[in-house]
Amino acid sequence: MSFPLCEHCTAGYVLPGTPKGTMQDGAYFASGADANRAIVLLTDAFGLDLVNSKILADQLADTVGCDVWVPDQFGGYPLLKVEELDHIMPKRPGEKMPFTAKLSLIWTLLKHLTGFISNRPSVVDSRVKTFTMKLKSEKKYEKIGTVGYCWGGSTGIRLASTDIFDSAVIAHPGRCTTDQIRAMKIPTSWLCAEEDRSFDPLRAEAEAIFAARKEKSDFIDYEFRDYKGTVHGFAVRPELSIPEAKEGFEKSFEATVQWFKKTLWS
């Protein structure tokens, strides 16, 4: 069985700040100026327990100007806890993980194996679909976009083949396949790390899949952005003390804002 979790999904750095939104029906909600559009933010493996997704939701609501929702992909049980990992992952491209750190990572993942199984992709996808369809029914949003980080990026890729979202931003996704990428049918922005063992093998082919649709009936708007000096996780869990990571985080956030302003209001 394959899960969209890669080793870098387990590197956790906490963003500064205090969430300003509220919890509604198990999801975090940040209110925006335009009540006719919304963004569904799909978290990494740390789920709602890591404050980063809430802080990003607040910032997106303020800068994009629409409602932002962060559903609980994991049914109340996030796959991992930041404090278990103690920043054992490489922070810069080219850094190696010590053997002892690899052993610690393997042990941590084994401890959470049951959680990975109970939150397999089909289960997570169903939760997100149900949540988003309820939003459409109750809130009557004209358009809904999604931004997914790491594990949530993999979820976003799979759901971009359906009709529940109108636009997507995929940031350093976890495990995915070329077939899943080929099935995507909504405008998509890709935010890519310089070094990402999870997505690097598919990076060139993913862009080629979208480029091959140019001037064809199935063409969809897209962009691929690469951020020098960054590793997997930089757009949601940056090590802000590293200038390249901080710059990549800030520029990728601005790219996300501009993509949604372009696609949700067109």
**pTM, full prediction:** 0.91
Q: Which residues contact 134 (CB under 8 A, 6 or more apart)?
A: none
Instruction: Residue 96: give its domain's CATH number.
Output: 3.40.50.1820
249, 240 contact by CB (below 8 A): yes
pLDDT in tens, 119-159: 899 999 999 999 999 999 999 999 999 999 999 999 999 99
With respect to residue 242, please indicate whether it lies within any of the assigned structural domains. yes
How many structural domains comprise the chain?
Answer: 1
Query: Which range of residues forms the domain containing residue 27?
Result: 7-263
With respect to residue 222, please indicate whether it lies within any of the assigned structural domains. yes
What average pLDDT does this structure show over 182-187? 98
Return the pLDDT at 112: 64
Alpha-carbon distance of 134 to 129, in angstroms, equals 8
Return the pLDDT at 12: 46
> Is the per-residue pLDDT at 1 higher than 50?
no
> Is the per-residue pLDDT at 5 higher than 50?
no
With respect to residue 55, please indicate whether it lies within any of the assigned structural domains. yes
With respect to residue 78, please indicate whether it lies within any of the assigned structural domains. yes
Q: List, edge to edge, every strand of the sheet that includes 22-24.
A: 22-24, 27-30, 66-70, 34-42, 143-149, 167-171, 188-195, 222-231
Residue closest to 93 by CA, chosen among 264, 258, 226, 228: 228
Packed helices 243-263 and 52-64: angle between N→C axes, nearest 10 degrees: 50
pLDDT in tens, 52-91: 999 999 999 999 999 999 999 998 877 777 766 656 778 8
Return the pLDDT at 101: 74
Q: Which residues contact 122 (CB under 8 A, 6 or more apart)?
A: none
> Is the per-residue pLDDT at 166 higher than 60?
yes
With respect to residue 2, please indicate whether it lies within any of the assigned structural domains. no
With respect to residue 148, please indicate whether it lies within any of the assigned structural domains. yes
